[in-house]
Structure 1
Amino acid sequence: MENRVWHSLAASAAALSLGFGLSIVGPTNSAQATAADCSGGAAGFVDISDDRSGTVVRSRDMGAGRTVTLEYGTVAGAQRGWAKISGTTVNNDLVWMDWTTDGGSSWLQCGPFAVNRGPGTSKTSAAKTTMNVSGYQFRACGYLKNAGQTKCTSPWW
């Protein structure tokens, strides 16, 4: 009898510890991948030209003559989405694309990618498939070096 009580107490303590640990270590809202983690074919992404244009589905005025857009088009035989910053950009303005599978409760950030070809040049993120993937939604975000501000397209697409 004493042995059963001890095992029951031990099992209860283990379950309580596990439950407590899970509540502390729960998921965060976003995870960040570096530009290298989602370019060069990594994680299903495809590199595209920084001048690539597609169908704009979301656009956000960043101020200072710059715009961040969420675009899509056919890339490497599949419909893919990407983020783009353009306008009166300066080197080190940033662009990235977030994608979610749960309506925006959590997401993965791909980037940032820095403008690096001089003033007024555009920059794109890598492109991710938008087809045949249940629940995938995307948004584009940008950061202006001179203004120190971040803005994202909304709502998720």
Structure 2
Amino acid sequence: MTDSPPARPTTWRHRHHRLLLATAFLATALVFGTGGVLIGRQFGVHVITLKPTEDAVCRDWPWPANDGDGQAVRPAVHPQAPDHSPTIELIAGKATDGKFATWARITNAAFGDRVWLDVSTDSARSWTQCGPFPVTTSTGTSRAHETGPNMLFRACGDVPTPAPNARGEMCTNW
């Protein structure tokens, strides 16, 4: 007859080992997570939330034809970033639907710059904004809007981090 080894006493600690580990992990995460948030606030660290890339109102508008070729119809504006100064222009030309249209264009841009088009039918007392459209290359455009009587347009754009004492968001004249 073989003798079996004596049974180990089962303590509460042995029975709930996994529960203890999970509780220790959660407590550690809570302490360090809260500390990180408090330190981030102390040093002015801000979480960047991206704005929508376009409004539902212009989702069905055409894009500029021929990679955005057209003529500038207002003087350009130049928001200032620490490392670059993009050019925002109001452009008129043909859209992909073949109609004469107006759109906003940004050039000399950097990743994160944005461009949008404002359209007004009441002498700029109110307007519809189409965009902003984030830029991932050195050039970007908004969607295009067919021109018509009593319509005013302006092109706008911004840089995510403006240069000190400079404007980071600018619009052309109507």
**What TM-score does the superposition give when structure 1 sets the normalisation length?**
0.65
Contact 1:70 1:153 in 2 (8 A): yes
What is the aligned partner in structure 2 of residue 3 from structure 1?
A: none
Partner Cα distance (2:141, 2:66) in 1: 5
Identity %: 35
SS at match of 2:94: strand
CA-CA distance at 1:122 after TM superposition: 0.5
- The one-letter code matched in structure 1 to 2:77 is R
Partner of 1:150: 169
Q: Which has the larger radius of gyration?
A: 2
Which runs of structure 1 show a deviation greater than 6 angstroms over 4 or more consecutive aligned residues? none
- Structure ranking higher in strand proportion: 1
Output aligned runs, 1:22-101, within 5 Å.
35=54, 37=56, 38-39=58-59, 42=60, 45-48=61-64, 51-58=67-74, 59-63=76-80, 64-75=84-95, 76-87=97-108, 89-101=109-121
The answer as to whether partners of 2:65 and 2:94 remain within 8 angstroms in 1 is: no
Q: Runs of 5+ in structure 1 lacking a partner? A: 1-32
1:81 aligned counterpart, secondary structure: strand
**Which residue of structure 2 aligns with residue 6 of structure 1?**
none
CA shift for structure 1 position 116: 1.8
Mapped partners of 2:98, 2:66: distance in 1:
19
Backbone CA RMSD of aligned residues = 2.1
Mind listing any 5+ residue stretches in structure 2 that lack a counterpart? Answer: 1-51
Partner of 2:20: none
Q: Aligned pair count?
A: 113
Contact 1:97/1:125, CA 8 A, preserved across alignment: yes
Shift of 1:91: 1.1
Of residues 155, 169, 173, the one that matches 1:140 is: 155
SS in 1 for 2:68: coil
What residue is the counterpart of 2:35 in the other structure?
Answer: none
Q: TM (normalized to structure 2)?
A: 0.59
